[in-house]
């Protein structure tokens, strides 16, 4: 049986770590990410979103200027708090 000295154990551990790191780096280099859409497509989508937002804002402003169909009674309802007396 061959006895490993602490120096040889350290060397084998260091070699194992280097091999593992090398494998991780090689595998990660092969799996590089890239954008799924091109810059022009993203810009087009952004422009479309901006136009939609502008249209919704214009519609909201227009709806604020419309008078409601119902009218307010003009004062407090005298029967509203009558159950508390």
Q: What is the pLDDT along the chain (85 residues), one digit of tens a residue?
A: 455 566 677 778 888 899 999 998 888 776 666 666 677 787 777 888 888 999 999 888 887 766 667 766 666 666 766 665 5
Residue with tokens 């060397």: 11
| Cα 17 to Cα 14: distance, rounded to the nearest angstrom | 5
pTM of the model: 0.34
Give the model's pLDDT for residue 3.
57
Query: Could you tell me the two tokens for 64?
Result: 């604020």
| Cα 25 to Cα 40: distance, rounded to the nearest angstrom | 32
Query: Could you tell me the two tokens for 42?
Result: 């993203």
């Amino acid at each position: 049986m061959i006895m490993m000295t602490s120096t040889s154990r350290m060397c084998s551990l260091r070699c194992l770590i280097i091999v593992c790191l090398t494998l991780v780096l090689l595998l990660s280099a092969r799996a590089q990410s890239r954008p799924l859409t091109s810059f022009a497509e993203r810009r087009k989508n952004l422009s479309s979103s901006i136009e939609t937002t502008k249209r919704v804002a214009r519609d909201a402003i227009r709806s604020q200027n419309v008078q409601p169909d119902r009218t307010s009674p003009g004062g407090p309802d005298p029967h509203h708090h009558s159950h508390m007396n």
